[in-house]
Chains A and B, each alone.
Chain A
Amino acid sequence: MSTTVETGGREVPLAMLRDGETGIVVSVKSGYGGAWGLKKRLMDMGITPGTRITVVKSAPFHGPMEILVRGYRLAIGRGMAERIFVRVEETQAGCRES
């Protein structure tokens, strides 16, 4: 599958990112059995291919992740974070995120 963003680096689920790491969304997988309500919801919240996401921190006990996306703070459950595939940015080249 081709993507519009060429950044190099590895492609992993967002859940694999460590605190402080940034990735660019490559794709969002739909739920089990093709249920895509949640996928749409994630995209409506701004997590679309090409979007830059920074992981701020994760809650303990395998809890949700706090991420920065499109200039605001979003909490997403682990299960959600497993479905978002990102390409990890090797260099810091932020242009929008503060």
Chain B
Amino acid sequence: MNGRRLVIALAGNANVGKSVIFNYLTRLHQHIGNWPGKTVEKAEGTLHFKGYTIDVVDLPGIYSLSTYSIEESISRRFIAVDKPDVVINVIDASVLERNLFFTLQLMELETPMVIALNQMDVASRKGIQIDVEKLEEILGVPVVPTIAVKGVGIFKLLEKAVEIFEGKLSAKPKPVKYGEEVEQRIERIAEAVRDSGLPYPARYVAIKLLEGDREIQEEVEKADPQAAALARRLGEELEKLHGHSCPTLITSERYQAANCIAREVQRLIPPVKPTLGEKLHNVTTHRVAGYLVMAATLLSMFLFVFAVGNILSEFLSSLLYGLKPFFEGFFGTGFLAQLFWGGVVEGLIAGATIALPYVIPFYLVLYFLEDSGYLSRIAFLMDSIMHRMGLHGKAFIPLLLGYGCNVPACLGCRIMETQRERLIAAFVTTLVPCAARTVIILGLVGRFIGIQWALVLYVFDLLIIFLLGRLAFKILPGEPTGLIMEMPDYRLPHLRTVLSQTWFRLLEFLKIAFPLIIVSTLTVKLLEALGMLSFFTSLLAPVTVGWLGLPVETGVTLLFGVLRKELALIMLTTLLGTTDLSQALTPVQMTVFTIVSMFYIPCVATIATLVMEFGWRKALVITVSEVFLALVLGGLALRILVLTGLR
């Protein structure tokens, strides 16, 4: 191989087809992970083109290069500090003005760039015609019209990017000229910060200082307090002059520039009749019909995930457990062989039969909903309800998914904007009784006490979720964020992109979850084999017997329940020696046991997901506080139920 490498970054707004271009470029050579220490996805891939090995980095979809969100500051740092050789700025031709606002900021970063003017087909359907050459001339940056979903223009885009890199194409970006008064002050500040050693161009630093960017302000303050003071003083002058705050002024003027460019290059011939997408939008956000459509969609999505999940799960488990005779034929049934089977292989099977079958269809559905644009309509409809627990509309999706399986639900929390909201959403999501916990609720309380009491428990759970959601919202520091969300035009999701997104995120999940599942399964099995399990249950006796009033055997089931929740019930019948649990447990004991199982700990796969999304510390805090919560609620329930005269 020749060593010619080149790094290309894809940058642009959300919903512009960036990931379609990314998938088109990199196909199966992708790696999806997180940015170091952040809950922000990092997609990287490689391709070979004209003798180059090109690394492509897909930056998160953002609307500005301020530091409002983690995504924005990650993108900015990457472009300014890691300096990709070329940035491909993907813009949506059908929403040119807002996209150009971002483009103008990229140009201020003075990075070598090419513009992919994407969704040309959507634009022309909306009656928008764009003069590409004129746009190119005004911006001073090469512009390539593309229709990513059909692969149109991608080759040319890549060609231009390489030409820029090789210096064959001289791009001279013509950055925004602000108003006279602003421009003078930008120059003075830029002069002052030129030697401050910041990784950004001086003019960019000057603009961001006036724009009130916290991160840059702090950096300049450290490097050159005098320059920072000058910027503050000149900013105040501008505020007096214009009557608006300085950030407002700069943002307005940049938008003004974007507006002028857009007006100059596009011709509008609005279609007479509304498009199908518009009709769909009206129905799906209607105050009555919208909710009906949502209920139907979510129900079918739920059924799809669990129907597919169940089939896959049963298939995999019969297949994998069927391997046991072969395994024993090969390794025998000695102590180590049994430990290996019980600990490692069954751990793998548990992971493969619980998590995988549900994670795959879940990802498919989620990306389908997201790429089509429907997710934002659901968030629109559910916003006011979710607001009551301090979250906004998007959090409804993970919460609902939690009833199936907490693992995909926690992964779904990524759709929230800020780290704080992700954490609150994940926390309440793990309190939602998943399918395995439903087995306990229905199989114990529902079957032996009455289905109405099972329903009471569900309502109780919802109540706790709302209360704790509010509490978490109050405790965790940070500005409560309201909904500010683009509702993009509906479109048909690009199948290959959805499939590839599913596949690569699945790989990432396997890498994190499986080791943890195996280690914990092995530990429990080892304890069991060494006969130490009874030691632990007697250790737990003060809690299980003393506080919760349960038979001592339940200690073991609660321990195993960490691995697989639905196992708890099966084990209970084995340990108590009867399938008619009403003979071994009183109704109160059943209720307490069910309440504890509902809340006490997310299963090991969920914990693994929490670790992957939020790191060890936060995962631990959530886990421990939920164990504590379960015990408190269980003990209280026992005492209240006994007080009311039940036994």
Please report A residues at the B interface, Cβ cutoff 8 Å.
1-3, 27-28, 31, 35-46, 48-51, 57, 59-64, 66, 70-80, 96, 98
Query: When the two chains form their complex, are residues A49 and B252 in contact, meaning their CB atoms are under 8 A apart?
Result: yes
Q: Roughly how many angstroms separate A40 CA and B380 CA in the complex, as a whole number?
A: 21
Query: When the two chains form their complex, are residues A63 and B243 in contact, meaning their CB atoms are under 8 A apart?
Result: no
Question: How far is the CB of A5 from the nearest CB of chain B, in Å?
Answer: 11
On chain A, the residues within 8 Å of B304 by CB distance are none
A-B contact pairs, 8 of them (CB 8 A): A45-B63, A48-B251, A64-B483, A66-B285, A72-B488, A74-B484, A75-B376, A75-B379
With A2-B243, A28-B248 in contact, is A66–B380 under 8 Å at CB?
yes
Question: How far is the CB of B105 from the nearest CB of chain A, in Å?
Answer: 9
Query: When the two chains form their complex, are residues A98 and B384 in contact, meaning their CB atoms are under 8 A apart?
Result: no
Query: When the two chains form their complex, are residues B385 and A61 in contact, meaning their CB atoms are under 8 A apart?
Result: yes
On chain B, the residues within 8 Å of A96 by CB distance are 263
Query: When the two chains form their complex, are residues B97 and A59 in contact, meaning their CB atoms are under 8 A apart?
Result: no
Query: When the two chains form their complex, are residues A57 and B285 in contact, meaning their CB atoms are under 8 A apart?
Result: yes
Q: Does chain A have a CB within 8 A of B481? A: yes
With A45-B98, A71-B97, A77-B387 in contact, is A35–B479 under 8 Å at CB?
yes
Q: In the complex, which of the residues A37, A51, A59 contacts B255, with contact meaning CB atoms closer than 8 Å?
A: A51
Query: When the two chains form their complex, are residues A45 and B484 in contact, meaning their CB atoms are under 8 A apart?
Result: yes
Please report B residues at the A interface, Cβ cutoff 8 Å.
63-64, 66, 68, 95-98, 101, 127, 212, 243-244, 247-248, 251-252, 255, 259, 263, 268, 270, 281, 285, 287, 376, 379-381, 383-385, 387, 392-393, 479, 481-489
Query: When the two chains form their complex, are residues B482 and A76 in contact, meaning their CB atoms are under 8 A apart?
Result: yes
Query: When the two chains form their complex, are residues A77 and B483 in contact, meaning their CB atoms are under 8 A apart?
Result: yes
Question: How far is the CB of A27 from the nearest CB of chain B, in Å?
Answer: 8
With A48-B248, A62-B384 in contact, is A40–B487 under 8 Å at CB?
no
On chain B, the residues within 8 Å of A35 by CB distance are 479
Task: Name the residue on B nearest A76 (C-beta).
Answer: B484
On chain A, the residues within 8 Å of B385 by CB distance are 61
On chain B, the residues within 8 Å of A80 by CB distance are 482-484
With A66-B285, A70-B259 in contact, is A75–B483 under 8 Å at CB?
yes
Query: When the two chains form their complex, are residues B98 and A72 in contact, meaning their CB atoms are under 8 A apart?
Result: yes
On chain B, the residues within 8 Å of A50 by CB distance are 252
Query: When the two chains form their complex, are residues A63 and B384 in contact, meaning their CB atoms are under 8 A apart?
Result: yes
Q: Roughly how many angstroms separate A42 CA and B68 CA in the complex, as a whole number?
A: 10
Q: In the complex, which of the residues B97, B243, B487 contacts A75, with contact meaning CB atoms closer than 8 Å?
A: B487
On chain B, the residues within 8 Å of A45 by CB distance are 63, 98, 484, 486
Query: When the two chains form their complex, are residues B481 and A75 in contact, meaning their CB atoms are under 8 A apart?
Result: no
Q: Roughly how many angstroms separate A78 CA and B381 CA in the complex, as a whole number?
A: 13
On chain A, the residues within 8 Å of B98 by CB distance are 45-46, 70-72
With A63-B384, A66-B380, A72-B98 in contact, is A31–B479 under 8 Å at CB?
yes
On chain B, the residues within 8 Å of A73 by CB distance are 281, 486-489
With A74-B487, A77-B484 in contact, is A40–B243 under 8 Å at CB?
no
Q: In the complex, which of the residues A1, A71, A75 contacts B485, with contact meaning CB atoms closer than 8 Å?
A: A75
Query: When the two chains form their complex, are residues A72 and B95 in contact, meaning their CB atoms are under 8 A apart?
Result: yes
Question: How far is the CB of A9 from the nearest CB of chain B, in Å?
Answer: 20
On chain B, the residues within 8 Å of A98 by CB distance are 127, 268, 270
Q: Roughly how many angstroms separate A3 CA and B252 CA in the complex, as a whole number?
A: 12
Q: Roughly how many angstroms separate A41 CA and B63 CA in the complex, as a whole number?
A: 9
Query: When the two chains form their complex, are residues A59 and B479 in contact, meaning their CB atoms are under 8 A apart?
Result: no
With A75-B485, A98-B268 in contact, is A46–B392 under 8 Å at CB?
no
Query: When the two chains form their complex, are residues A42 and B285 in contact, meaning their CB atoms are under 8 A apart?
Result: no
* Beyond A46-B101, A48-B252, A70-B97, 15 additional pairs, beta carbon < 8 A: A2-B243, A39-B247, A40-B68, A49-B248, A59-B383, A63-B380, A64-B380, A66-B487, A70-B95, A73-B486, A74-B484, A76-B482, A76-B485, A77-B383, A77-B392
Q: Roughly how many angstroms separate A42 CA and B486 CA in the complex, as a whole number?
A: 11
Query: When the two chains form their complex, are residues A59 and B380 in contact, meaning their CB atoms are under 8 A apart?
Result: yes
On chain B, the residues within 8 Å of A1 by CB distance are 243-244
With A36-B247, A59-B287, A66-B487 in contact, is A46–B97 under 8 Å at CB?
yes
On chain A, the residues within 8 Å of B96 by CB distance are 71
On chain A, the residues within 8 Å of B255 by CB distance are 43, 46, 48, 51, 70
Question: How far is the CB of B404 from the nearest CB of chain A, in Å?
Answer: 26
Query: When the two chains form their complex, are residues B381 and A59 in contact, meaning their CB atoms are under 8 A apart?
Result: yes
Q: Roughly how many angstroms separate A42 CA and B287 CA in the complex, as a whole number?
A: 25
Q: In the complex, which of the residues A51, A59, A72 contacts B384, with contact meaning CB atoms closer than 8 Å?
A: A59
Q: In the complex, which of the residues B212, B281, B287 contacts A40, with contact meaning CB atoms closer than 8 Å?
A: B212
Query: When the two chains form their complex, are residues B484 and A60 in contact, meaning their CB atoms are under 8 A apart?
Result: no
On chain B, the residues within 8 Å of A48 by CB distance are 248, 251-252, 255
On chain A, the residues within 8 Å of B383 by CB distance are 59, 63-64, 75, 77
Question: How far is the CB of B151 from the nearest CB of chain A, in Å?
Answer: 25
With A44-B66, A71-B97 in contact, is A37–B380 under 8 Å at CB?
no
Query: When the two chains form their complex, are residues A41 and B95 in contact, meaning their CB atoms are under 8 A apart?
Result: no
Query: When the two chains form their complex, are residues A49 and B287 in contact, meaning their CB atoms are under 8 A apart?
Result: no
List the 4 closest pairs (A to B, CB-CB), nearest first. Answer: A77-B482, A44-B64, A63-B384, A77-B483
Which of A38, A42, A63 is the most central at the interface, judged by chain B CB atoms within 10 Å of its CB?
Answer: A63
Query: When the two chains form their complex, are residues B247 and A40 in contact, meaning their CB atoms are under 8 A apart?
Result: yes
Task: Name the residue on A nearest B418 (C-beta).
Answer: A37
Query: When the two chains form their complex, are residues B479 and A38 in contact, meaning their CB atoms are under 8 A apart?
Result: yes
Q: In the complex, which of the residues B270, B287, B479 contacts A60, with contact meaning CB atoms closer than 8 Å?
A: B287
Query: When the two chains form their complex, are residues B484 and A37 in contact, meaning their CB atoms are under 8 A apart?
Result: no
Query: When the two chains form their complex, are residues A61 and B384 in contact, meaning their CB atoms are under 8 A apart?
Result: yes
